[in-house]
Amino acid sequence: MTDVILHVYDVTNSGSEKTNSTIMQINKIFKDGIGLGGIFHSAVQVYGDDEWSFGFCDHGSGVFSCPPARNPMYTYRERIVLGKTNFSIFKVNQILRELSREWPGDSYDLLSKNCNHFCDEFCERIGVPNLPAWVNRFANAGDTAMEVAGNTALRLKQAKTEIISASKVAYQFLAGVGSNTSFTPESPSNSNRGSPRIQPSWFRNLVSSVGHKPSDSDLENEAEDIFQQQQRPSEQLRQNSRHHV
């Protein structure tokens, strides 16, 4: 058994002194002040004098190592002992080789596949607890927000497609009604035949348009017109009825 150590850094590699100072202030307030989280880089040390992490590169694996607590790109913050692994050094090295193949550098994503996600998976594979939640909370929150936004956009697109499909079905039905059914005013001779008495203008307009297949935008506009007609007071419908009889 051997200790598994997490090394945590403040991300201060922007190239701008002002930006780096801002990140340090954010981490100080949100991590040190209220314990919520911040913008951090992490790496895992197990067996030997190297820490292992993940970063972006154009070609090859994104998994890399450096001396513990000495990554020159960031500002070192603290070390956390996550627990002890029962895996042998041979098994740990095997897992690192597998991760090196599975984590290419060009797959790096700030919100969904960053250094902290790599350390989480590494720790899981060697049987120790995951990183403290505060280490990657900001990235996880951002990834969740992006997923919600994406799902919302997809649902809206699906809803629009369903509306168009329903409108096309309605059009086909009305087209059949217009070509096969004769609507006549009620008279004593046909008052018991079930002929509709009310013929609203929107319905007559739709039926009279048989033969002209509407576009998707036409269907959307007509659906909106139908909705507006249905919102009018019942009194107006009765007046339209008397007018058409």
User: What are the pLDDT digits (tens) for 26-48?
Assistant: 888 887 777 777 889 999 999 98
CA 31 to chain centre: 27
Is residue 138 a part of any domain in this protein? Answer: no
**Same domain for 16 and 124:** yes
**Same domain for 114 and 12:** yes
Is residue 225 a part of any domain in this protein? Answer: yes
**Same domain for 88 and 28:** yes
Is residue 23 a part of any domain in this protein? Answer: yes
pLDDT at res. 76: 95
**Same domain for 9 and 127:** yes
**Same domain for 156 and 127:** no
**Same domain for 158 and 126:** no
pLDDT at 227 over 60: no
Is residue 120 a part of any domain in this protein? Answer: yes
Residues of the domain holding 178: 151-244
Region of poorest pLDDT, from 20-34, 49-63, 144-158, 181-195? 181-195
User: What are the pLDDT digits (tens) for 54-68?
Assistant: 999 999 999 999 999
**Same domain for 126 and 48:** yes
User: What are 214's two structure tokens?
Assistant: 């509407």
Contacts of residue 6, defined as CB under 8 A and 6 or more positions apart, other chains included, come to 42, 43, 44, 45, 79, 80, 81, 82, 119, 123, 131, 135
User: 47 to each of 52, 91, 122, 210, how far by Cα in Å?
Assistant: 11, 11, 13, 79
According to the 3-state scheme, what is the secondary structure of 180-243?
HCCCCCCCCCCCCCCCCCCCCHHHHHHHHCCCCCCCHHHHHHHHHHHHHHHCCCHHHHHHHHHH
